[in-house]
Amino acid sequence: MGALVAGPVPPARWGPPADGHHMVLPDEGARRGDPFADDPDPALLGVTVTDVLAAAATVSLATWTERQRDRATAASAARSRPEATSTSRVVERPGR
């Protein structure tokens, strides 16, 4: 999980993995897209500390919410299962 500052190449090409929670910064509109430029891409320069912290908080909240939902689903499934029965049994011996 995390906030990814992507640039100058579009995240669709060199972006985060498809699985997991990620938020890509910055806005695509400012991206020049030249990975071999002599100066930084304007899209990268436009990302602020506040942008990164806000993205990280959003991703963290989404991940926490998903984990809580998964835990609730697992707990509900466990409650709906029939109680486990013991596989041991009492064997009567003849003559007792």
7-16 per-position pLDDT tens digit: 777 777 777 7
Which pTM does this prediction carry? 0.54
Mean pLDDT value across residues 11-28: 73
44-54 per-position pLDDT tens digit: 888 889 988 88
Confidence category of residue 38, pLDDT binned at 50, 70, 90: very high
Q: Is residue 62 one of the residues assigned to a domain?
A: yes
Q: Is residue 94 one of the residues assigned to a domain?
A: no
Length of the chain: 96
Q: Is residue 37 one of the residues assigned to a domain?
A: yes
Count: domains in the chain: 1
Residues with Cβ within 8 Å of 35's Cβ and at least 6 positions away in sequence, in order, are 8, 9
Q: Is residue 42 one of the residues assigned to a domain?
A: yes
What pLDDT is recorded for position 87? 58
